[in-house]
Amino acid sequence: MPGACSGARRASVRSAGHHVESVISLTYGDEEWRRKGATLSDKSARKEFGLTQEEILEAIDAGKLSYRIGVIHGNPWFRLLRREVEELMNSTYNDKHHREKRARAELARVDRELRQLRAQVAMLEEQRAKLVAELPG
């Protein structure tokens, strides 16, 4: 983009036949992008919300999703604002299929968290039993 601020760099990603180019500001004034849990990757958006990569790219092209580009080991990925993905889902993809896929993803997340908590409780119970055994009579 001509006339972009001096603290910006141009990033380009080609995915599924789309070419998305943007200027990413390097200023750190945007709190939402830095807040924990406020962003998610395009892969997480596909998994959690049942979106396809094509739907994500179409929403980016239409200006419905803001994004930043991340690169891990040379592989580019989109970082999206969770709030915008949720708004997109509620306004555009609120059909039965997408609601069911979101419910399944949420159920899997809850099940995973419960497994972790059960393992943690078992470890704490074992630690407690050892401590009780060390106490005098």
Reported pTM? 0.59
Q: Count other Cβ atoms within 10 Å, centred on residue 85.
A: 23
Q: Count other Cβ atoms within 10 Å, centred on residue 95.
A: 9
The whole-angstrom distance between residue 26's C-alpha and the CA centroid of its chain comes to 21
In whole angstroms, what is the distance from residue 64 CA to residue 92 CA?
Answer: 10
**31 vs 137, higher pLDDT:** 31
Report which DSSP code applies to 40.
Answer: E
Q: Confidence class of residue 19 from pLDDT cuts 50, 70 and 90?
A: low
Cα–Cα separations (whole angstroms), residue 35 to 38, 40, 81, 106? 6, 11, 10, 21
Over range 131-135, report the average pLDDT. 94
Q: Are 24 and 68 in contact (CB under 8 A)?
A: yes
Task: Record the tokens describing residue 45, joined without a space.
Answer: 């958006």
In whole angstroms, what is the distance from residue 48 CA to residue 78 CA?
Answer: 15
- The pLDDT tens digits of the residues spanning 75-90 come to 999 999 999 999 998 8
